[in-house]
Amino acid sequence: MKKIRICLPPVFFALTLFCFSASLAAAAEWDVRSDIMRLRSEVPSLEAFDGAEGVIWRSFYEYDLMPDGTTRKKRQLLMLLAESASPELSTYIIPFPDGEGANLTIDSAAWYDAQTGALRGDLSSNMMDEEGIRYMSISIPDGAKRHVVAIGYTATSPMRYYLDDVLTLSGSLPIWEQNVSVEIPAGMDVYWEGIGVRTPTRERDSGGVEKIKWTLLNQPAWQDDGIVAEKAPTLLFSLQRGLTTHLKNLSMTEALFKAPQIPSSIASSGNNLLKAGSAILSYMRDRRLVVNGNSPKLIRNARYITGEGSWTSWEQTLIAGKWLQSLGFDVKVFWSQKLPVGASGASSSVLWDEPILKIGQGSGKDDIYFTSGQRFDFGKLDPSLYGMPIYRFAEGNIERFSLPKGSASEHQLQQMWRLNLSETGEVEGTLDLHITGGWVDVFDLAPTLRLEDVASLLEKKIVFSMPGLSLVGKSMKPTSSGYRFVFDLRAQLGIVSGTDILVKLPGGVPNALGQIPANGEGFAFKFPFILEQNAVVTTPAGYRTFMLPGKNQEGNTNATLESSVVHWPKRRRAETDFKWTVRNTSIDDFFAKTILEQARAALNWSRTSIPLRK
CA distance readout (Å), 446 to 126, 183, 266, 285: 30, 42, 24, 11
pLDDT on residue 251: 95
pLDDT on residue 586: 94
In this predicted model, what pLDDT tens digit does every residue of 296-328 receive, in sequence order? Answer: 678 988 999 999 988 999 999 999 999 999 999
Other Cβ atoms within 10 Å of 221 Cβ, number: 18
Q: Which residue has the higher pLDDT, 220 or 606?
A: 220
Structural contact between residues 529 and 412, judged by C-beta atoms closer than 8 angstroms: yes
pLDDT on residue 67: 85
pTM for the structure as a whole: 0.88
In this predicted model, what pLDDT tens digit does every residue of 378-389 receive, in sequence order? Answer: 999 999 999 999
For the chain, give the percent of residues with pLDDT over 70. 94
Report the first-to-last Cα separation within the chain, whole angstroms: 70
> Using omega within 30 degrees of 0 as the cis cutoff, is the peptide bond preceding 86 cis?
no
In this predicted model, what pLDDT tens digit does every residue of 70-105 receive, in sequence order? Answer: 999 999 999 999 999 999 999 999 999 888 889 999
CA distance readout (Å), 263 to 228, 304, 326, 332, 554: 41, 17, 12, 21, 55
Structural contact between residues 592 and 517, judged by C-beta atoms closer than 8 angstroms: yes
In this predicted model, what pLDDT tens digit does every residue of 393-413 receive, in sequence order? Answer: 999 999 999 999 999 999 999
Beta strands in 384-525 (DSSP E): 389-394, 397-402, 412-421, 426-436, 462-464, 470-479, 482-492, 494-497, 500-504, 508-510, 523-524
Q: Is the pLDDT of residue 224 over 50?
A: yes
In this predicted model, what pLDDT tens digit does every residue of 446-491 receive, in sequence order? Answer: 877 888 889 888 888 999 988 899 999 999 999 989 999 999 999 9
| Neighbouring C-alpha atoms within 13 Å toward the C-beta of 82 | 17
List phi, psi (to 5°) of 444: 55, 50
pLDDT on residue 226: 87
